[in-house]
Structure 1
Amino acid sequence: MKKSKSIILITLMATMLLSACSGKNNETESAAPSGSSSPATSKTNQKLEKVTLKIMIPGDRPARMDAVIAEAEKRMADTLNVKLDITFVPWADLAQKTQLTLASGESIDLIFDAPWLHLSQQIAAGSYEPLEGLLDQYGQNIVKARPQQMWDANKFSGKIYGIPLGAAHFQGRGYYVRKDIREKLGIAPIKSYDDLIKFAYAVKEKVPGIIPLLPAGQDGLKDMSEAVFRRFFDTKNHLSPSPVLTQSLVLYTKNNDGKVYNLFDEMDPTIWSWIKNARKLYQDGIIGKDVLAIKDLSQPAKEGKVAIFDQNNFGISPDIQSAVKQNDPNAEFEAVTFFDATPKANISNFQQWNFIAVPAVSKNKERAIQFLDWANQRDNYDLLTYGIKGEDWEPVGDDQYKSISNGYAWFPFAWILNPLFDRLDANQDPETQNYNKYTKVANNFTTDILTGFTFDNTPVANEIAQYNTIEAKYYTAIMNGVVDPDSSWLQFKTAASGLAKKIQTEEQKQIDAFLSKK
């Protein structure tokens, strides 16, 4: 991490913490979502008829999930009287499984979705229930736990179709680096991308059997491919996927100017340099040769087989740290990020990456929202987020926690995450904690000119579907350096450029209409 950024963070903390404190009032004690009346108190003070809620969320079921759910059901027994039937879907199967579930009309009461998954498509298909009325009547705590900016920026066609799941206004990004290997090789702490790659080459030369660098190779995690991931630390050009293809840089925005650019029309030199660099890293054996086949980045890392991999957070997940130590007691990951903490340097549209939605077919819509309202209260949030106090975790002050077992992994992002009750990991280094605090303050970011814009994909739905099928054949392979970029990009362009142009034209038309009303 750059020394200058650390200094900026330290000097800003006093002002930032004051802003955060005032933000607790201004940003979390919000009114009901715009367009709604003040929420009524949830009717949970009397015992209701027993209902089983079917919930579908991503990830792996924690070992101690049954104990936590049993405690939650015990707490709800005399009021909500809810039983929780939770299905965990592996990340690699998430898109297909959730899409098939919704298409089949299977009875599901709460389901995870996201802009990077198929949220917009499912909204257009009528799969999800609009939530304003339910939140008015049953969601007082859900509403209060999220700032008004979060509600305003996460509507679709002017309505709330999913409860935004996030604790910050900007997604943390960084690399997990094997600190023990770095120190054994006598390499100084990593402060730049060049330092990171030098370390990767040293691992390749001196530590056989370890993958030096492992980016994401799944089509569903395209934004974590080697070439694409670097955009998160580029505050010069502000390159970002357009609102339609949310993980693809083929159609992209830059410099917050409200225009959609097309790589097939003209290749951006910065993006091309990232692509060429990825190719060199793959050819040199720095990027793992099986990058496209690995479904879960963290699994080989937990097994001690990876020196560097990228993740969507600033710090180190306790379950990954403990897992790697089980394989090698001396092994240890450290967090490295090149995030620029200069105020207003980063652009945010305040949109969250993850949502929990109520399918239109649910027969328990009211109870589903009542349950989420119950879960968005401090003690209940702590239970479902961190596990059983004294067994899985213990509080550190008012806003931190410390894990004391490995049996309950952190996954509130899948169903209940909010900025009011989310605790910081007390084991994180001070700089990581400062980054996490920084991203909780909305005023630290420049507002994206497209904040609040949602794309109606109806006019080009077929083109989007066809384009996505073609892109899946080329994009992650190119962005991870697995194939020759010159010939593969030409093949990709030949197959997909016509579709991309139609999507771009419709997208720009809708953006222009949106901006004309601002």
Structure 2
Amino acid sequence: MAKRMYLGLARLSGLWLLLLLGGCLYNPGDEQGNSAPLEADPSVTLKIMVPGERSPDFDLVMQEAERRMTGTVNVKIEMEFVPWNDFGTRSQVALASGEEIDLIFDAPWLHLNEMIASGYYEPLDVLLEQYGETIVTKRPRQMWDANRFGGKVMAIPLGVSHVMSHSYYVRKDIREKLGVPPIRDYEDLIRFAYLVKAREPGLAPFIAGGTRSQQLYSQATFRHYHDSENRIRPTQALKSSLMLYYQHNDGKVHNVFKEPDSPVRRWVKEARRLYVDGVMHKDVLGIKDFQEPGLVGRVAIFPTGSFGVSSVAGQTLKEHVPEGEFESVTFFDDTPGANISDFSQWNFIAVPVVSRHKEEAIRFLNWANEKPNYDLLAYGIQGMHWEPVEGNKTKTISTRYNQPAFVWIWNPGDDRIGAGNEGTERLVRFIRDAANFTPDVLTGFEFVSGPVQAELDRYNRIEAKYYTPLFNGVLDPDTAWEQFEAEAGPALERIANELQRQVDQFLANKKK
């Protein structure tokens, strides 16, 4: 979501506040990315757990990284890659069992808040002040100020923008073959999907996220990313669900069960139409990686968490369909002030309390956030995997190294924009400028789940049965809403009431 397309991922959650900290041991180092020597045990091996897959050239790049660190940070890297759909369970088990890990990916849409509440993560304020000046300075103040947990930095934010970029990957070659002009709005997109259904047998017109971990990419949920009219967004209580949501910027909590005319209900109704008409992939709930069928040429349209087409996606498609070509279609409103942001981030890297190498872990990340080292870990070996392009952009030479930065080192100070996407470069730069956004009145608000934790646990178990089937059109909303509410309505209402109470208190305190 790139797996930034999932995500992304890559877009934004609660630990960005480290910026208030200043460091004292950082030395910018030389142009090869070699920091001034630090006292460190060269025998230390940092164990890092992240989601994704190991690239063919990962070990080659790590050898170069460890060569650069010799005499400075002096650590070796042992990386465990876990498939995205398995990462939540694997990481939770590892943390609960006390497995020794030095750095671990987490996110609000995964189980970040739960792991923090359970005491599995080390507070980082002091460590960052001592060893992480570069980590701090490479991230803007808004990211840090908006994402503390109980006033503390509990993980390092991994993000480059103030909202997540979202678009649809569309088969440009099919569009042109069918004589369809460039897609300008959502109605154009749906008309194209129906045309694919009619004239391209064997090619599924549309697919969306159908698993619990991908529900932000379900058909109806994904609509909110391009909703500049209502400005709907999830709440802190249910971060990847629109069953509770904010609308506009007034701090009012909306409950879908209580609002039959909600835009969310309209989106769900349309998702049902797409599914019944055979436009949505018939197995939308059964495919773990919903983007994979599109990447290999079996689907014409699918949602992503990026602007522009990644070189990996384009190359993967051509390996399966030589004449195939993607284009990125987005309906993002780039009018300054049209979008609301609370400057939170959606991806983080944390230091488990069981780590015996906390200092070395932060020193390593500080080293990794120096520009030459970031380039190495984010893009691979220059001249072999990538080459720089003017304007802090990058051109991919080989996809044998493809380890997304957003799961371990991502920062807005060093991240490059992919060359060749001139049409979306302006949007990428737009969302990286905080001045382009209207600040959310709830910026900095933290929801304390304790008073309704039992209701949250119950509600989440029930929602798992209904949400993605309903929001992808597999369930008929004419009957499913009533069934869903009968089981989950009382719990959701109590959660909504408690959330509203805390929001009102937060806003009242701001006025004092």
**TM-score, normalization by structure 1:** 0.92
Say whether residues 1:326 and 2:319 are aligned partners: yes
- Aligned equivalents of 1:358 and 1:103: distance in 2? 14
Moved more, 496-505 or 372-381: 496-505
- Aligned equivalents of 2:400 and 2:94: distance in 1? 29
- Aligned equivalents of 2:150 and 2:423: distance in 1? 39
The runs of 5 or more residues in structure 2 that have no matched partner are 1-15, 28-34
Aligned to 1:313: 306
Aligned to 2:479: 487
Aligned to 2:357: 364
- Aligned equivalents of 1:125 and 1:170: distance in 2? 28
Residue 464 of structure 1 aligns with an amino acid whose one-letter code is L
* Preserved CA contact (<8 Å) 1:164 1:356: yes
Identity of aligned pairs, percent?
A: 51
Residue 440 of structure 1 aligns with an amino acid whose one-letter code is R
- Aligned equivalents of 2:291 and 2:78: distance in 1? 27
Q: What is the CA-CA distance between 1:268 and the residue it aligns to? A: 3.8
Say whether residues 1:450 and 2:442 are aligned partners: yes
- Aligned equivalents of 2:435 and 2:413: distance in 1? 17
Counterpart pick for 1:144 among 137, 146, 150: 137
Say whether residues 1:221 and 2:214 are aligned partners: yes
Secondary structure of 1:478's counterpart equals: helix
- Aligned equivalents of 2:441 and 2:499: distance in 1? 15
Secondary structure of 2:50's counterpart equals: strand
Secondary structure of 1:55's counterpart equals: strand
* Preserved CA contact (<8 Å) 1:356 1:415: yes
Cα distance change on mapping 1:342 and 1:32 into 2, 3 Å: same
Secondary structure of 2:258's counterpart equals: coil
- Aligned equivalents of 1:259 and 1:398: distance in 2? 42
Secondary structure of 1:79's counterpart equals: coil
- Aligned equivalents of 1:148 and 1:119: distance in 2? 21
- Aligned equivalents of 2:232 and 2:260: distance in 1? 13
Moved more, 235-244 or 170-179: 235-244
- Aligned equivalents of 2:200 and 2:188: distance in 1? 17
Aligned to 2:456: 464
Residue 33 of structure 1 aligns with an amino acid whose one-letter code is L
* Preserved CA contact (<8 Å) 1:124 1:458: no
- Aligned equivalents of 1:236 and 1:46: distance in 2? 53
Q: What is the CA-CA distance between 1:146 and the residue it aligns to? A: 0.4
Where in structure 2 are the equivalents of 1:81-92 lying within 5 Å?
Answer: 81-92=74-85
Where in structure 2 are the equivalents of 1:260-339 lying within 5 Å?
Answer: 260-339=253-332
Counterpart pick for 1:509 among 484, 501, 506: 501
Aligned to 1:33: 19
Say whether residues 1:401 and 2:377 are aligned partners: no
Q: What is the CA-CA distance between 1:505 and the residue it aligns to? A: 1.7
- Aligned equivalents of 2:391 and 2:70: distance in 1? 28
- Aligned equivalents of 2:26 and 2:376: distance in 1? 22
Q: What is the CA-CA distance between 1:267 and the residue it aligns to? A: 2.7
Q: How many residues are treated as equivalent by the alignment? A: 487
Q: What is the CA-CA distance between 1:32 and the residue it aligns to? A: 6.8
Q: What is the CA-CA distance between 1:39 and the residue it aligns to? A: 4.2
Say whether residues 1:352 and 2:345 are aligned partners: yes
Cα distance change on mapping 1:513 and 1:237 into 2, 3 Å: same
1:21-52 Cα shifts (integer Å, max 9, x gaps): xxxxxxxxx99733x45544379614521211
The runs of 5 or more residues in structure 1 that have no matched partner are 1-29
Q: What is the CA-CA distance between 1:462 and the residue it aligns to? A: 2.1
Moved more, 147-156 or 456-465: 456-465
- Aligned equivalents of 2:69 and 2:489: distance in 1? 54
Cα distance change on mapping 1:390 and 1:47 into 2, 3 Å: farther
Cα distance change on mapping 1:398 and 1:78 into 2, 3 Å: farther
Q: What is the CA-CA distance between 1:266 and the residue it aligns to? A: 2.0
Cα distance change on mapping 1:261 and 1:182 into 2, 3 Å: same
- Aligned equivalents of 1:52 and 1:410: distance in 2? 20
* Preserved CA contact (<8 Å) 2:19 2:137: no
Root-mean-square deviation (Å): 1.5
Aligned to 1:234: 227
Say whether residues 1:176 and 2:169 are aligned partners: yes
Q: What is the CA-CA distance between 1:278 and the residue it aligns to? A: 0.5
**TM-score, normalization by structure 2:** 0.93
1:465-500 Cα shifts (integer Å, max 9, x gaps): 221111010011000001111211111111111111
Cα distance change on mapping 1:233 and 1:100 into 2, 3 Å: same
- Aligned equivalents of 2:78 and 2:177: distance in 1? 47
Residue 353 of structure 2 aligns with an amino acid whose one-letter code is A
Where in structure 2 are the equivalents of 1:83-162 lying within 5 Å?
Answer: 83-162=76-155
- Aligned equivalents of 2:379 and 2:244: distance in 1? 39
* Preserved CA contact (<8 Å) 2:47 2:79: yes
Cα distance change on mapping 1:209 and 1:452 into 2, 3 Å: same
Aligned to 2:9: none
1:225-249 Cα shifts (integer Å, max 9, x gaps): 1111111111111111111101111
